[in-house]
Structure 1
Amino acid sequence: MPAKPAPIKKSPEKKAAEKAAEPAAEPAPEAPPADAPVEAAPAEAEAAPAEAAPAEAAPAEAAPAEADAAAPAEAAPAAEAAADAPAADAPAAEGAAAEPAAEPAAEPAAVTDAPAADAPADGDAAPAEAAAGEAAPVEAAPVEVEEPPKAPTPPPPAVPTSAPLSLVVEDVNNISLTVKWRAPENIGDSGLDGYTVEYSKEGSTDWVVANSELTTANRLCIKDLTLGDRLNVRVVAVNAGGPSEACALDESVPIREVVDRPKIRLPRSLRTRHVRTVGAKINLVIPFNGKPKPVVTWLKDGEPLDSKRANIRNSDKDSILFIRTSNRADSGVYEMTVKVDSFEDKASLILQIVEKPGPPASVKLVDTWGFNAAVEWTAPKDSGNTEITGYTIQKADKKTGDWFTVMEHYHRLNATISDLIMGNAYTFRVYSENKVGISEECVETADIATIQKIGIVYRPLEYKEHDFNEAPKFTAPLNDRATTVGYSTKLLCAVRGSPKPKVEWLKNQMVIGDDPKYRQISNQGVCSLEIRKPCTYDGGVYTCRAKNEQGTATVSCKLEVKQVIVAEADKEKE
Structure 2
Amino acid sequence: MPSKPAPIKKSPAKKAAEKAPEPAPQPEPAPVEAPPAEAPPAEAAAPAEEAPAAAAPAAEGAGAPVAPAEDTPAAPADETPVQEGLDSTAPAEADAPAADAPAADAPTADAPAAEDGAAAPAADTADAPADAAPAEPAVVEEPPKAPTPPPPAVPTSAPLDVSVEDVNESSLTIKWKTPETIGNSGLDGFTIEYCKDGTTDWVVAQEELTPVNRYCIKNLTAGDLLNVRVVAVNPGGRSEPATLAAPVPIREVVDRPKIKMPRNLRVRVVRQVGEQINLVIPFLGKPKPVVSWLKDGQPLDTKRVNIRNSDKDSIMFIRTSEREDSGVYEMSVKVDSFEDKAPLTLQIVELPGPPTSVKLADTWGFNAALEWTPPKDSGNTEITGYTVQKADRKTGEWFTVLDHYHRLTATVSDLIMGNTYSFRVFAENKVGTGESCAVTKAVATIQKTGINYKPPEYPEHDFSEAPKFTTSLSDRAATVGYTTKLLCSVRGSPKPKIEWLKNQMVIGDDPKFRKLSNQGICSLEIRKPCSFDGGIYTCRAKNAQGEATVSCKLEVKQIIISEKGK
Q: Normalising by the residue count of structure 1, what TM-score does the alignment of the two structures yield?
A: 0.59
Compute the displacement of 1:157 (Å): 1.9
Equivalence for 1:380: 375
Q: Does the alignment pair 1:173 with 2:175?
A: no
Compute the displacement of 1:27 (Å): 6.9
Equivalence for 1:474: none
Equivalence for 1:257: 252
Whether the 8 Å CA contact 1:76–1:99 is kept in 2: the answer is no
Larger proportion of helix: 2
Q: CA 1:263 to 1:459, structure 2 compared with 1: closer, same or farther past 3 Å?
A: farther
Q: CA 1:121 to 1:399, structure 2 compared with 1: closer, same or farther past 3 Å?
A: same
Q: CA 1:73 to 1:161, structure 2 compared with 1: closer, same or farther past 3 Å?
A: farther
Q: Does the alignment pair 1:298 with 2:268?
A: no
Q: Deviations over 1:338-395 (max 9, x none)?
A: 0111111111100111111110000000011111110000000111111111110000
The match for 1:330 among 322, 325, 340 is 325
The match for 1:28 among 27, 30, 54 is 30
Equivalence for 1:533: none
1:163 and 1:21 mapped to 2: Cα distance? 56
Partner of 1:155, secondary structure, is coil
Equivalence for 1:285: 280
1:446 and 1:350 mapped to 2: Cα distance? 42
Equivalence for 2:423: 428
2:302 and 2:400 mapped to 1: Cα distance? 47
Instruction: Summarize the alignment of residues 484-523 of structure 1 with structure 2, pairs less than 5 Å apart.
Output: none
User: For the aligned residues, what is the CA RMSD?
Assistant: 4.4
Q: CA 1:457 to 1:173, structure 2 compared with 1: closer, same or farther past 3 Å?
A: farther
Q: CA 1:372 to 1:99, structure 2 compared with 1: closer, same or farther past 3 Å?
A: farther
Partner of 1:168, secondary structure, is strand
Q: Higher Cα Rg: structure 1 or 2?
A: 2
Whether the 8 Å CA contact 1:25–1:69 is kept in 2: the answer is no
The match for 1:246 among 241, 246, 262 is 241
Instruction: Summarize the alignment of residues 116-515 of structure 1 with structure 2, pairs less than 5 Å apart.
Output: 148-455=143-450
Compute the displacement of 1:158 (Å): 2.4
Whether the 8 Å CA contact 2:37–2:99 is kept in 1: the answer is no
Compute the displacement of 1:93 (Å): 9.9
Q: CA 1:420 to 1:70, structure 2 compared with 1: closer, same or farther past 3 Å?
A: same
Equivalence for 2:97: 96
Partner of 1:430, secondary structure, is strand
Instruction: Summarize the alignment of residues 34-49 of structure 1 with structure 2, pairs less than 5 Å apart.
Output: none
Q: Which amino acid aligns with 1:421?
A: I
Q: Deviations over 1:72-107 (max 9, x none)?
A: 7995689xxxxxxxxxxxxx9974322899xxxxxx
Compute the displacement of 1:142 (Å): 11
Partner of 1:97, secondary structure, is helix
2:303 and 2:76 mapped to 1: Cα distance? 112
Instruction: Tell me the number of residue pairs that the alignment of Structure 1 and Structure 2 aligns.
Output: 387
Q: CA 1:24 to 1:271, structure 2 compared with 1: closer, same or farther past 3 Å?
A: closer
Q: CA 1:265 to 1:93, structure 2 compared with 1: closer, same or farther past 3 Å?
A: closer
Compute the displacement of 1:239 (Å): 2.3
2:6 and 2:175 mapped to 1: Cα distance? 83
Whether the 8 Å CA contact 1:200–1:231 is kept in 2: the answer is yes
Q: CA 1:68 to 1:143, structure 2 compared with 1: closer, same or farther past 3 Å?
A: closer
Compute the displacement of 1:186 (Å): 2.4
Equivalence for 2:502: none
Q: Deviations over 1:248-288 (max 9, x none)?
A: 11000000011111111111111111111111112111111
Q: CA 1:149 to 1:331, structure 2 compared with 1: closer, same or farther past 3 Å?
A: same
Whether the 8 Å CA contact 1:97–1:126 is kept in 2: the answer is no
Instruction: Summarize the alignment of residues 542-561 of structure 1 with structure 2, pairs less than 5 Å apart.
Output: none
Partner of 2:97, secondary structure, is coil
Partner of 2:98, secondary structure, is coil
Q: CA 1:68 to 1:174, structure 2 compared with 1: closer, same or farther past 3 Å?
A: closer
Whether the 8 Å CA contact 1:393–1:405 is kept in 2: the answer is yes
2:142 and 2:357 mapped to 1: Cα distance? 88
Whether the 8 Å CA contact 1:21–1:123 is kept in 2: the answer is no
Compute the displacement of 1:449 (Å): 0.7
Compute the displacement of 1:126 (Å): 13
Compute the displacement of 1:178 (Å): 0.9
Q: Normalising by the residue count of structure 2, what TM-score does the alignment of the two structures yield?
A: 0.60
Partner of 1:376, secondary structure, is strand
1:174 and 1:325 mapped to 2: Cα distance? 47
Q: Which amino acid aligns with 1:182?
A: K
> Which segment drifts farther, 285-294 or 184-193?
184-193
Equivalence for 1:58: none
Q: Deviations over 1:414-437 (max 9, x none)?
A: 100011111111110000111111
